Amino acid sequence: MTGAVRLEGPVYSLELRYDPDSYSPRDTMRTYSFGWMYWGEDRGYIELCRGSVAEVSWSDAVLSVRVFSEPGTRCWEMAINNIAGMLGVNEDLAEYWRLARGDPLVGGLAESMRGLRLRQTSIWYGFLVAVCQQNVSFRQGWNMLYRLHLNASRRLVLPNGRVYLETPSPQNLSFEVLRSSGLGYRARTVLNLVSARAWELECGNLEEARSVLGVGNYTVSLVELLACRNYSSLLLDRWLRRLAAEAYKVSEREAAKALTERFGEWRGLAAIHTTIAFDAEPSRRALERLRRGENKPGRVEPSPISLWKHTPPVSS
């Protein structure tokens, strides 16, 4: 566990209007969130840069954004210019939702969470998420990342007393910290990314990460989706391959082709939405739900939309 830092502010504030018929701040803030990012009210937090956090609240089709910062930190001045992009406020998904309507994998999500947008992460945080998801279940992967936050994050204390666990800094990640967080063999992959200074990569040269030992197609594809909004990058693991084969009545070998034919350049978004729609349940249960047509999220916990309920910013 690293030390606490008291934030000052708000040092800056702004308002963003949104269309409540096409954008849901609640669904956007609660999906794939830990307990310090969202806690079940009409507000949440999003990290802007090291030592700076934006509080996002909403009412009457207006997002109110207030910035809190570590004393002497000015990186937020540039980061705040992309706050609408980080939240996906103006992202046009009309074509995708048209394709998703009635689909056996994501049709239920299209019906119940049409205002959902994925929050954009940093390249570095995208890699941490992706490595923790390698060859594990949803619950195992996010538990690793949660424990990593508990062990390696600085505690950013806001004026209202709430605590935000900052993205673990590469400089704070030793083999011992990573192993104690449950990463197992993935600890070596994270350290390889640290040695390669992966946080310096940009969306335009992200492919260079494939040369890092332990980083494969799935990892890079997930980072492209989370950090770069590249929705054509397909996250095809065994879980999704089995569901897509069942949904489209093809062999598992033809699952990628079927997803591409159905969603085209949106196939990556459809992949992650499938995980949300079926609450990231184990494949057997997800297949049973698929056969019953139960493709709306919220049937079990923890899930991508309820992770925040089970991950407070302090260890239990």
CATH number for position 218: 1.10.340.30
Full domain range(s) for residue 101: 95-120+231-295
**Domain check: are 66 and 131 in the same one?**
no
CATH number where 47 lies:
3.30.310
- Split at pLDDT 50, 70, 90, the class of 313 is very high
Mean pLDDT over 119-144 rounds to: 97
261 C-beta neighbours (distance < 10 Å), count: 12
pLDDT per position as a tens digit, 212-258: 999 999 999 999 999 999 999 998 999 999 999 999 999 999 999 99
Mean pLDDT over 308-312 rounds to: 96
Say yes or no to pLDDT of 2 above 90.
no
- Split at pLDDT 50, 70, 90, the class of 94 is very high
d(C-alpha 287, C-alpha 278), whole Å = 9
pLDDT per position as a tens digit, 147-187: 999 999 999 999 999 999 999 999 999 999 999 999 999 99
Indicate the number of domains in the chain: 3
**Domain check: are 281 and 221 in the same one?**
no
In a domain, 313, yes or no: no
Mean pLDDT over 45-63 rounds to: 97
Per cent of the chain over pLDDT 90 is 97
Residue 1: what pLDDT?
A: 58
pLDDT per position as a tens digit, 116-127: 999 999 999 999
* Domain final residue pick, 190, 210, 228: 228
- Split at pLDDT 50, 70, 90, the class of 311 is very high
